[in-house]
Structure 1
Amino acid sequence: MKGFLLLLTVIVPISGGLVSCSSQVKARQPVSYHFQYGRTAMLKDGIAYAPKNAPAAVKRAIAAGNRLQNMPYKWGGGHAHLADSGYDCSGTVSYVLREAGLMKGCLPSKDYFGYGKKGEGKWITIYARNGHVFMTVAGLRLDTGGPGGESGPRWKTATRQGVGHVMRHPSGY
């Protein structure tokens, strides 16, 4: 009997569409915060302040992120209850995007591979990898982990590795 070669192709649907890894834009640089007047948010005493010229959705996103400060990390937080007593990484990103009017409901971290548009955004960028997601809003990172040792949603200025993360952004932002 002659040998046969069986080739299987697996296509995984993500967020209503098909997404291949080759069509994604991966971060190649660390995620760093550098204040630029009029372009980036300012952080003072743990509270972020949006640039005056930022779009209204960006200002709403920063206000939402401010409401999450000092909340504890809670696995699954922000999914079963949109207003929760703690938030995980995807619950945090979902809360901020929802409050900014840039999405409905919430997504688990893996579904951010298909959210919005590919690449870095002008005002908001989502960094997704298998098992974790975080975001920058007006250049300021909102994350539940990484350098700094605190867990739970926090604005962070410390540099975090971006390598291995796929960058996505809300359309127009």
Structure 2
Amino acid sequence: MQHLKTHYHPEIKTLENKSIVRRLATRSITIQGHNILLMYTERYEDYSLPGGGLDLGEDKFEGMMRELNEETGAVSIRNIKPFGIYEEYRPWYKPDYDVQHMISYCYTCDIDKELGNSKLEHYEINNGMKAVWINIHEAIKHNTTTMATSDKKGMSIERETFLLKLIAERIG
């Protein structure tokens, strides 16, 4: 799979003498016309690709389909193709490690436009997450504004906006 980018959070000045925890994740790219299926998170005021961490030993395709279904209720997930890998190093919030090395495996796929019921986790519900079909250019503009003006932005918005811009370039 093509490597898209390695991003270092501004707080990560060096990896030397740091304890690093690795997290594998998947991200789903589902497009219909110029609309893309994204998760809007009220807490962070951002749009992101559906996805999340892989369970230990979980196949990447199975994990991608599980996350997409859990977060959006997507059904009939098909035509899964590799899009690329996005790596990031960011501060870890638990005392056992200093840095999280997140590796996101991104895939394109097709789904039925009509979504079923999502199975969001408790924290996702509390963060105000919901699946939405939105024009990709509107989502990019929104995230760009959030990055420039909001103190609520999360650590993932740079990754998500980079990926959305790359996707928009490829769909024309």
Tell me whether the two structures share a fold, i.e. TM-score over 0.5. Answer: no
**Structure with the larger helix share:** 2
Q: Larger Rg: 1 or 2?
A: 1
**Structure with the larger strand share:** 2
Q: Which has the higher contact order (CA 8 A, sep 6+)?
A: 2
TM-score normalized with structure 1 length: 0.29
TM-score normalized with structure 2 length: 0.29
